[in-house]
Amino acid sequence: MLIVGLGNPTPAYAHTRHNVGFDILDLLARSLGISFTHSQKYQADYAKVGVQGYLLKPMTYMNLSGQALAAFLRYHDTQSVLIVHDDLDLPLGAVRFKSKGGHGGHNGLKSIEQHYPHPVYKMKIGIGRSALKHDTIAYVLQRFSPEQESLKEQIFTHALKALEFYLQQGNFSAMQNRFTLKSLSP
């Protein structure tokens, strides 16, 4: 079992909307009492979970995430891959799970499809859209507003519980049924 959190490396991108995958995996690692190790070979930070599980944070920048996933999987066999990522098309406060479907315009997922043409599970964390439609790139690379921080923390806690459940049960459908969240109110 491999859980991949998408984001961009370097402090400039830390805790931005586009980095929710990294932030949630960091929370999960802390909760499990494990830490990430950097690997040049994988172009990623990774952590071992139990006997057969791993957490992976590609350090290639979002648009090249598939390169790191492919490099990691050349050395590690896994039964399933779950991608944790931001989703503009879901409102802030939503958490959805998909076992099928395409990239939905997400460049990190596009890269993964190019380098790993196999089905992956997805945990989509809603970040909403900017009121200014033409400002999408700036929006995803911004931090959450102070008014959104409390809601973000609730979403991250919900996502953490879902991933802990998934690691214990190993059942994506059960996690999907139990933890899908249409929205939390601010």
Known catalytic residues? Answer: 18
Please check if 63 is assigned to a binding site. Answer: yes
How many residues does the structure list for the chain?
A: 186
φ, ψ of residue 86 in degrees (nearest 5): -75, 155
Please check if 116 is assigned to a binding site. Answer: no
Q: Which helix (H) or strand (E) holds 95?
A: strand 95-98
Rounded-to-integer distance, Cα 24 and Cα 129, Å: 20
Please check if 13 is assigned to a binding site. Answer: yes
Please check if 107 is assigned to a binding site. Answer: yes
Judged on CB neighbours under 10 Å (0-12, 13-18, 19+), 184 is: middle
> What is the end-to-end Cα distance of the chain in Å, rounded?
33
Rounded-to-integer distance, Cα 56 and Cα 39, Å: 10
What is the edge-to-edge ordering of all strands in the sheet holding 121-126?
A: 37-39, 44-49, 53-58, 2-5, 81-87, 121-126, 95-98
Please report, in range form, the residues annotated as the binding site for tRNA. Answer: 13, 61, 63, 107
Please report, in range form, the residues annotated as the binding site. Answer: 13, 61, 63, 107
